[in-house]
Chains A and B, each alone.
Chain A
């Protein structure tokens, strides 16, 4: 049964609607990622769940209890949640130990009990030797772990993370992604994770929710979202893709400026206009004219870059369009040379929107 439920949740500031009728059910113990570009409403959604923002419409239920609705809002302190902030929000006037112990002392635990629990979580987070340090004396990664420990030590029902890794450098970020997933597997809190980084979402999440302009574009597993995007926005946002805009011609095909593309997958738009998405690496490049097969188009190389693991091509097609494709590094075709491209039907996905 769903543990955290958002139904028709909306938030507007004056005329500006930041979150627009978002409905989402999150299973107990699941890790859900809200993924989207900045300004898509993901952080506001998280702050609505935390209770820092009151909704203008819809409601939030946790464990069947309404926590947020336009007329009644439970304040953040009575939601039994924890949050990890983008800035970490460690209190500079408290030591690591005091920071982590804060939530426990508010809950009125005994001194001895607090010490045991804090020591325990600090050792899990590999922070024991730093207990008496102040936050300003820690590195970014250490601060991040203190922030995690502080959030987890109170054993929340729900854990919220707001772009927790965006202040770390690239290497550390990659390491911490797996660390967050490991801790989640260990403690199994219901977790909502906000990020704009698709790799982060794909590493950590059970369910990825792609948001755009305050609305949910698509929700599903990482594989689902990548392989079966339902909209142009999702296709573009997750992984590189070519969006080919044409008109529907026949049952399974799209006429793309004179090139007929048969699509093995997806939904066609009801009207004439239909877009087709094909990933860069799914396009095949050949230097000889094709003997058989569907979806071939002639063109010429307009740019070619060697990137170590692959070569990146920009190809001008005979219908005046330009597509991007990648090929293995040993396939080196000089600029200007005529080529043939195949868009394999099983990789061509029609997009309804």
Chain B
């Protein structure tokens, strides 16, 4: 082998490598977002009234029945909600994914709609429908049977009513997971069973359902998690009924006189429970090969329903009416009649509430403005951070990049109300005095939405083969050029979708907001909650429909993205 004698000077990389500094600042930002509130939470929970360290807050948590009971009720409520969600969603998912039920696309559209509906709005809609005195359904019942004013059929202000209203909102989680799993169960597994003599029902019972059981369990856990950590629905339905769940109890500890230490101590067990639920869910979903049995074994097998067809249609209609159609109609009706119980006729029709909300009620304008500003800010900053994080993680351009992924995912296990407590404790005293400004809400929303944004964009990055960037590099493009000319156009659709997703998430947030908002920083969701306290359901309906309108417009926009996102995006595999 010849030895090269002339050695020209090697070309040095003089372009500055940005990945290290970007990585470090992202670790600091995300670490700050996640760890700071948790630190103050832990610190305050062991702080006694006289400023010394003690466990008295935790002692109170165990001994004080007014603290213990809300936990017990919340657990019962969450478990019941999980069970009811599975019970409703699993048959619905099977009918939609695997049978010849007419109008299957419509079912999926309606379930998406109930996903988009803010849960507290659903609770208010059910107040309108089933409050014992003024509820529309009870009015109809009394009218139909000629009964006295004190008679009623439904009472939403009960434990059962609460579980029901929560399930209306949580069942889509189970539905989506189970329907996706059913879409993915390879047909040949079912055909194998049929070949061995298993009839339609045997195959369903012995093969299909066991295969989607993990998805159902995982969905049930999500439903439990959602129910347990939600503030709005219990605050609207349980407080009038005279009982607390843990989220409303924590909130009440901030009412005058505030007991932040006790609130912090009450929040910690909730955090542990959610961490456990997330862990359990990941465990169940993580056993791939079982749940997401991959396979391109053709289209899913469709079971003909035969004579059960109309029974199935009736079931689906009832479920969708209860969860989506009736609440929406109730809101619509309430928005344009003077009182809830008044029937909608030409004479009772009024635009009074619209006028009130949009022009007379002074708080609306500020709240709308705050909501919009916060939504845009959070969506933009959140998407930008999630984009950087998922790029660094997906391309492993820095050692330890996966740490960022964990930090960005961590908030998924922090309930909104717990984060609210933590942020309040972190930013209500110097050096970071942010309480009372919209910045504390911005930080809260950024933290809450980070996992979802990161999840979306990291799967988008995974679908872009690294070789696409490398092909551009080897043809002479620098790293930045490759990002601008190749990666950015391919990611555009996902970026816009993520932005919309985060925006919708922020404008409906209430659990953390309720602790962090002040008179100057009201949001639409808070106004709705306040108006509910004063019983102004007409105004709520107008605001709620406005919120829904904006959300649906954005979802539609996000779904139509190929128009926005440029030409053929079908990634080459």
Does A65 lie at the interface of the complex (its beta carbon under 8 Å from any beta carbon of B)?
Answer: yes
Does B56 lie at the interface of the complex (its beta carbon under 8 Å from any beta carbon of A)?
Answer: no
Does A66 lie at the interface of the complex (its beta carbon under 8 Å from any beta carbon of B)?
Answer: yes
Does B144 lie at the interface of the complex (its beta carbon under 8 Å from any beta carbon of A)?
Answer: no
Q: Which of A69, A91, A136 contacts B10 (CB 8 A)?
A: A69
Does B307 lie at the interface of the complex (its beta carbon under 8 Å from any beta carbon of A)?
Answer: no
What is the CA–CA distance of A96 and B467 in the complex, to the nearest angstrom?
17
Closest to A75 in B: B13
Residues of B within 8 A of A136 (CB): 568, 570, 572
Closest to B8 in A: A65
Q: Which listed segment binds B: A100-108, A243-251, A278-286, A325-333? A: A100-108
What is the CA–CA distance of A66 and B7 in the complex, to the nearest angstrom?
7
Output the least CB separation between B18 and chain A (Å).
14
Chain B 461-476 interface mask (CB, 8 Å, partner A; 1/0): 0000101101111111
Contact B13 A73 (CB under 8 A): yes
What is the CA–CA distance of A33 and B8 in the complex, to the nearest angstrom?
28
Q: Which of A25, A67, A107 contacts B1 (CB 8 A)?
A: A25
Contact A83 B471 (CB under 8 A): yes
Contact A76 B474 (CB under 8 A): yes
Contact B8 A64 (CB under 8 A): yes
Does A292 lie at the interface of the complex (its beta carbon under 8 Å from any beta carbon of B)?
Answer: no
Do A89 and B13 form a contact, CB below 8 Å, given A1-B2, A135-B572, A154-B475? Answer: no
Output the least CB separation between B66 and chain A (Å).
56
Residues of A within 8 A of B481 (CB): 106
Does A165 lie at the interface of the complex (its beta carbon under 8 Å from any beta carbon of B)?
Answer: no
Contact A67 B476 (CB under 8 A): no
Residues of A within 8 A of B6 (CB): 64
Contact A61 B4 (CB under 8 A): yes
Output the least CB separation between B330 and chain A (Å).
46
Residues of B within 8 A of A2 (CB): 1-2
Contact B467 A85 (CB under 8 A): yes
Contact A87 B474 (CB under 8 A): no
Does B569 lie at the interface of the complex (its beta carbon under 8 Å from any beta carbon of A)?
Answer: yes
* A1, A76, A85, A107, most chain B CB atoms within 10 A: A76
Does B477 lie at the interface of the complex (its beta carbon under 8 Å from any beta carbon of A)?
Answer: yes
Chain B 449-492 interface mask (CB, 8 Å, partner A; 1/0): 00000000000000001011011111111110100011001100
Q: Which of A61, A64, A72, A91 contacts B12 (CB 8 A)?
A: A72
Contact A134 B568 (CB under 8 A): yes
Contact A50 B474 (CB under 8 A): yes
Does A142 lie at the interface of the complex (its beta carbon under 8 Å from any beta carbon of B)?
Answer: no
Q: Which of A7, A89, A93, A135 contacts B470 (CB 8 A)?
A: A89
Q: Which of B8, B12, B467, B569 contacts A86 (CB 8 A)?
A: B467
Q: Which of B470, B475, B490 contacts A102 (CB 8 A)?
A: B475
Contact A65 B568 (CB under 8 A): no
Contact A67 B467 (CB under 8 A): no
Closest to A82 in B: B474
Do A91 and B486 form a contact, CB below 8 Å, given A75-B478, A85-B470? Answer: yes
Closest to B468 in A: A89
Do A91 and B470 form a contact, CB below 8 Å, given A64-B8, A72-B12, A103-B476? Answer: no
Residues of A within 8 A of B571 (CB): 92
Contact B568 A93 (CB under 8 A): yes
Q: Which of A52, A77, A86, A135 contacts B478 (CB 8 A)?
A: A77
Contact B7 A92 (CB under 8 A): no
Does B11 lie at the interface of the complex (its beta carbon under 8 Å from any beta carbon of A)?
Answer: yes
132-146 of chain A: CB within 8 A of chain B:
134-137, 143
Output the least CB separation between B95 and chain A (Å).
34
Q: Which of B7, B468, B478 contacts A91 (CB 8 A)?
A: B468
Does A150 lie at the interface of the complex (its beta carbon under 8 Å from any beta carbon of B)?
Answer: yes
Contact B474 A77 (CB under 8 A): yes
Does A90 lie at the interface of the complex (its beta carbon under 8 Å from any beta carbon of B)?
Answer: yes
Output the least CB separation between A163 and chain B (Å).
11
Contact B477 A106 (CB under 8 A): yes
Residues of B within 8 A of A107 (CB): 476
Closest to A92 in B: B572
Output the least CB separation between A148 and chain B (Å).
12
Contact A85 B10 (CB under 8 A): no
Does A88 lie at the interface of the complex (its beta carbon under 8 Å from any beta carbon of B)?
Answer: yes
What is the CA–CA distance of A8 and B483 in the complex, to the nearest angstrom?
33
Residues of B within 8 A of A25 (CB): 1-2
Contact B471 A93 (CB under 8 A): no
Q: How large is the interface on B (under 10, 10 to 19, 20 to 34, 35 or more residues)?
A: 35 or more
Does B240 lie at the interface of the complex (its beta carbon under 8 Å from any beta carbon of A)?
Answer: no
Q: Which of B467, B486, B567 contacts A87 (CB 8 A)?
A: B467
Residues of A within 8 A of B31 (CB): none
Output the least CB separation between B477 and chain A (Å).
6
Contact B11 A74 (CB under 8 A): yes
Does A15 lie at the interface of the complex (its beta carbon under 8 Å from any beta carbon of B)?
Answer: no
What is the CA–CA distance of A186 and B47 in the complex, to the nearest angstrom?
81
What is the CA–CA distance of A2 and B571 in the complex, to the nearest angstrom?
40
Residues of A within 8 A of B568 (CB): 92-93, 134, 136-137
* A66, A69, A89, most chain B CB atoms within 10 A: A89
Residues of A within 8 A of B470 (CB): 50, 52, 76, 83, 85, 89
Q: Which of B12, B474, B479, B566 contacts A93 (CB 8 A)?
A: B566
Chain A 13-42 interface mask (CB, 8 Å, partner B; 1/0): 000000000010100000000000000000
What is the CA–CA distance of A199 and B163 in the complex, to the nearest angstrom?
67
Does A200 lie at the interface of the complex (its beta carbon under 8 Å from any beta carbon of B)?
Answer: no
483-517 of chain B: CB within 8 A of chain A:
485-486, 489-490
What is the CA–CA distance of A126 and B571 in the complex, to the nearest angstrom?
24
Output the least CB separation between A136 and chain B (Å).
5
* B479, B486, B573, most chain A CB atoms within 10 A: B486
Residues of B within 8 A of A75 (CB): 13, 15, 473, 478-479
Do A134 and B567 form a contact, CB below 8 Å, given A61-B4, A107-B476? Answer: yes
Output the least CB separation between A243 and chain B (Å).
30
What is the CA–CA distance of A127 and B15 in the complex, to the nearest angstrom?
37
Contact A67 B10 (CB under 8 A): yes
Contact B465 A87 (CB under 8 A): yes
Chain A 117-159 interface mask (CB, 8 Å, partner B; 1/0): 0000000000000000011110000010000001100100000
Q: Which of B4, B12, B15, B473 contacts A5 (CB 8 A)?
A: B4
Contact B7 A81 (CB under 8 A): no
Do A82 and B475 form a contact, CB below 8 Å, given A66-B7, A92-B490, A136-B570? Answer: yes
Does A78 lie at the interface of the complex (its beta carbon under 8 Å from any beta carbon of B)?
Answer: yes
Residues of A within 8 A of B477 (CB): 77, 106
Output the least CB separation between B386 and chain A (Å).
22
Residues of A within 8 A of B573 (CB): 87
What is the CA–CA distance of A334 and B490 in the complex, to the nearest angstrom?
63
536-573 of chain B: CB within 8 A of chain A:
566-573
Q: Which of B2, B7, B475, B490 contacts A106 (CB 8 A)?
A: B475
Output the least CB separation between A189 and chain B (Å).
14
Residues of A within 8 A of B2 (CB): 1-2, 25
Residues of B within 8 A of A66 (CB): 7-8, 10
Residues of B within 8 A of A143 (CB): 572
What is the CA–CA distance of A150 and B6 in the complex, to the nearest angstrom?
33
Contact A77 B473 (CB under 8 A): yes
Residues of B within 8 A of A106 (CB): 475-477, 481
What is the CA–CA distance of A341 and B192 in the complex, to the nearest angstrom?
48
Do A72 and B10 form a contact, CB below 8 Å, given A1-B2, A77-B474? Answer: yes
| Other contacts beyond A78-B476, A87-B573, A107-B476: 15, CB < 8 A | A25-B2, A61-B7, A64-B7, A64-B8, A66-B7, A72-B10, A72-B12, A73-B13, A75-B473, A82-B475, A88-B572, A89-B467, A93-B489, A93-B490, A154-B475
8 A-B pairs, CB-CB below 8 angstroms? Answer: A2-B2, A74-B11, A76-B474, A79-B474, A87-B465, A89-B468, A92-B572, A136-B572
Please give me the 8 A-B residue pairs with the lowest Cβ-Cβ distance, nearest first. A103-B475, A89-B467, A89-B471, A85-B467, A106-B476, A76-B473, A72-B10, A83-B474
